[in-house]
Amino acid sequence: MSELTVFLQQLANGLVLGFLYGLIAIGLSMVYGLLRMINFAHGDVLMLGVFIALPVSWAGAPFPLVLLAGIAAATAAGWIVQRTVYRPLLKSRDVTLLVASLGVSLLLQNVVLMLTSPQPKRPAPEPFLDQPFQLGEVYLRNVDLMIVALAVVFVLCTHLFLQHTRPGLALRALAQDIDAARMMGIRVPRMVAICFLIGSALAGVAGVLIGYKYGHLNPYSGFLPGVKGFVAAVIGGIGSFPGAVIGGLILGLLEVFLVGYLPDALAQFRDAYVFLVLILVLLVRPSGLFGKPELVKA
């Protein structure tokens, strides 16, 4: 394989991973933009979505149905969490919400653990998705194309929703200035709920796709992707919708290229690099690529 082929292969792998991070980052970025809250449970909502989609897949359902089940489950989980735990805390200190989300994360992980088992699981094989796909010299599988296609479609839908509907307008107004928006008669709790619905649905999409791409799912496999999604959101500029997607792509590419081009001894520290990148971004440009600098630092 020539240098160029290796580079292109890494580029393709990085983009696929980046779209997954982007899907996860959107929900985190929107929630942070609204509530100044890091939702540590976001990744676990994703995991819950997959774990409900898994039996659907084992029962022999085709991919679209499994995907729908994952989306529905994640959306429902996200909504229930925000309704029961986060909504009563909307007016409390930031750290209360943060701790509550840690609690929810721990709860979801272990409820799933109790109901299933720690053994890793995978969805029933889907021959179509596992088929190899050759693009010039670059080898992918159909599932990779599916990730890119679905991510683009869902991101576009979310974009259209935010730009061209009244709730979308309200969400953008809230992200800009929550107090002013409240005074304009926007019902904050309802908008927060919508925000969680969108974010969790996108997380559900990402979850099912992760399931088909990597297999090997256990109750803890959502947490780290969730935190990485937050890192992606920070890179892109927290609170910014395009920022979340582009931040995801950047993080995916960085991760793949670092692992691909560093010597083997250093390549093992994959997860560590993500956080080094985070610390670097926060030091050099805390508002990320597209974010507005925070005026009040709390």
Partner 1 sequence: MGARSTVPFIAILLLGAALWVAETTLNAFYLQVLGLLGINIILTVSLNLAAGYGGMFSLGHPAFAAIGGYTAAILAYPVTLKASRIPGYPEWLLQMEVPFLPALLLGGLTASVVAVLVGWPVLRLRGHYLAVATLGLTVIVQVGIVNLVDYTRGALGLSGIPKHTNLWWIFGFALATIYVVYRLVHSRFGRALRAVRDDYIAAQMSGVNVARTRLIAFTVSAFFAGAAGGLLGHLLRILTPGQFSFNAVFIGVAMMILGGMGSITGSVVGAVIMTILPQFIIPFERGGTIFGAEFPALNGLTQIVIALILILVMLVRPEGLAGSREFSIRETAARFRGRRKEHGVDIVAVKGK
CA 279 to the chain's CA centroid: 20
Q: Under the criterion CB under 8 A, does residue 39 sit at the interface with partner 1?
A: no
Tokens of 63: 């991919």
Beta bridge partners of 141: 132
d(CA 108, CA 213): 23
Residue 254 CB, nearest distance to partner 1 (Å)? 14
Quick one: which segment of 5-13, 14-22, 142-150, 216-224 binds partner 1 (CB under 8 A)?
Answer: 216-224
* 178 binding partner 1? (CB under 8 A): no
Residue 6 vs 85, nearer CB to partner 1: 85
Site for partner 1, residues 234 to 273, rule: CB under 8 A: 234, 268-272
Tell me which of 12, 25, 47, 104 binds partner 1, using CB under 8 A: 104
Q: What does residue 139 show for φ and ψ, rounded to 5 degrees?
A: -105, 125
How far apart are alpha carbons 71 and 208 in whole angstroms? 8
- Name which of 4 and 283 has its Cβ closer to partner 1: 283
Residue from 59, 62, 94, 137 touching partner 1 (CB under 8 A): that is: 94
Residue among 59, 99, 152, 153 that touches partner 1 (CB under 8 A) = 99
Q: Is 173 in the site for partner 1 (CB under 8 A)?
A: no
The only residue of 109, 158, 200, 240 in contact with partner 1, by rule CB under 8 A: 109
- List, in order, residues 6 or more apart from 75 with CB less than 8 Å away: 49, 197, 200, 201, 204
**Token duo for residue 117:** 């088992």
Write down the H helix ranges in 165-240: 166-176, 178-183, 188-214, 223-236
- SS3 state at 30: helix
Q: Is 196 in the site for partner 1 (CB under 8 A)?
A: no
Of the listed pieces 87-95, 128-136, 171-179, 194-202, which binds partner 1 according to CB under 8 A? 87-95
Residue 91 touching partner 1 (CB under 8 A) = no
Task: At 18, list the tokens.
Answer: 């980046």
Q: Is 175 in the site for partner 1 (CB under 8 A)?
A: no
Report which residue type is found at 149.
A
Q: Shortest CA distance to 90 belongs to which of 169, 167, 166, 31?
A: 31
User: How far, in whole angstroms, is CA 281 from its chain's centroid?
Assistant: 19
Q: Which of 169, 286, 287, 292 binds partner 1 (CB under 8 A)?
A: 286
Choose one: 109-117, 120-128, 243-251, 254-262; the region binding partner 1 (CB under 8 A).
Answer: 109-117
Q: What is the DSSP string of 158-172?
A: HHHHHHHSHHHHHHH
Tell me how many degrees the CA angle 141-126-70 measures, rounded to the nearest 5. Answer: 100
By the rule CB under 8 A, 216 interacts with partner 1? no
Contacts of 80 (CB under 8 A, 6+ apart): none
133 near partner 1, rule: CB under 8 A: no
Number of chain residues interacting with partner 1 (CB under 8 A) = 50
Residue 80 engages partner 1 in binding (rule: CB under 8 A): no
CA distance 147 to 258: 22
From the list 5, 59, 62, 103, which residue makes contact with partner 1 (rule: CB under 8 A)?
103
Contact positions vs partner 1 (CB under 8 A): 36-38, 85, 88-89, 92-96, 98-100, 102-107, 109-111, 113-114, 117-118, 219-220, 223-224, 227, 230-231, 234, 268-272, 274-276, 278-279, 282-283, 286, 297-298
